[in-house]
Amino acid sequence: MSEFNRIAVIGGGSWATAIVKMLSENLDEIGWYMRSVYAIEHIKRNKHNPNYLSSAELHPEQLDLSSDINEIVAKYDVLIFAIPSAFLNGELEKLTTPLKHKIIFSAIKGIVPETGLIVGEHFNEHYNIPFENIGVVTGPCHAEEVAMERLSYLTIACQDQEKAKKLSLKIKGRYIKTKISDDIIGTEYAAMLKNIYAISAGIAHGLGYGDNFQSVLMSNAIREMKRYIKKVHKMKRNINNSAYLGDLLVTGYSVFSRNRMFGNMIGKGYTVKSAMLEMNMVAEGYYASKSAYKINKENGARTPIIDAVYDVLYGKKEAKEVFEKLTNKLD
């Protein structure tokens, strides 16, 4: 599989930067598309991304940087997308180069709002890419800790286990351990749902709930995740594995979690708009909560936590009242 020597990262944010840093240990050349010409020139001169993970040292001599997505897509066989889900469709609309024969891995933790699909399903249905050529890169892993070279674990999921294995070998390194999975749909839904649960943990903290409640909230969240994913994609999986429970815990508790930070601000009384402006970062769980809520209307899983987050963010209900009611639905 020589194509796994031709890998490009699509996106310019923190997670894209972390993936480039990981790949740099195993590849001589990495394609990298980012919109910002300023960021590209800064990386070439100063060896770090000026906007995200600026502490991560990059190696410009290894990087084929371009602000033209078509140039990068045309040159590379394996594409790792690391763009916030809310902006993915806009970037894909720029494409004139076909994706049909590419191998696509998604490091995106959300749902494409225009279609209501997780990223893998979106590529399959709208770009005719077979599922054996679609994969997922998921945690538990915060980009900030990759930048600090702290020991981190990733799960690489693909229907074609050989492709998952090949990418995992290109990502693993001194401080990165990897495992593979064939649960592409389940791991991608889990990556989306954990952001919603992290928002709920943040809201609870902002409202003044303590660690005792947070532990009950997370315990209920993993069971709710299991019910939800079972409805959308029934197969044998261990929900306690790192790709599900581990990713939920790190996103729900970590100081690096943007979704928890966003929820904390909502709990303290910020409006959605003011919280996003102050953070100056995308909280994927905000968009995911609306899509997940709508999807579940068709599937009918019992999801009191998702419902509570949706009611606060989109139903314009008071967080204090919503969470008082939620406390009586948890065990």
What amino acid positions are annotated as catalytic residues? 194
For the chain, what is the largest distance between any 2 Cα atoms, rounded to a whole number of angstroms?
57
Torsion, Cα 137 142 143 148, to 10 degrees, reads -130
Alpha helices (H) along the chain: 14-23, 37-46, 69-75, 85-92, 119-127, 143-147, 161-171, 184-207, 211-232, 247-253, 258-267, 272-279, 284-299, 304-313, 319-327
d(CA 226, CA 230): 6
Supply 272's token pair: 């959605």
d(CA 121, CA 110): 12
What's the Cα-to-Cα distance from 233 to each of 92, 184, 189, 221, 260, rounded to whole Å? Answer: 26, 10, 9, 18, 27
d(CA 55, CA 38): 18
d(CA 309, CA 293): 9
d(CA 136, CA 159): 10
DSSP-derived secondary structure for 283-326: -HHHHHHHHHHHHHHHH----HHHHHHHHHHTS---HHHHHHHH
Spatial contact of 244 and 237, defined as CB atoms under 8 Å apart: yes
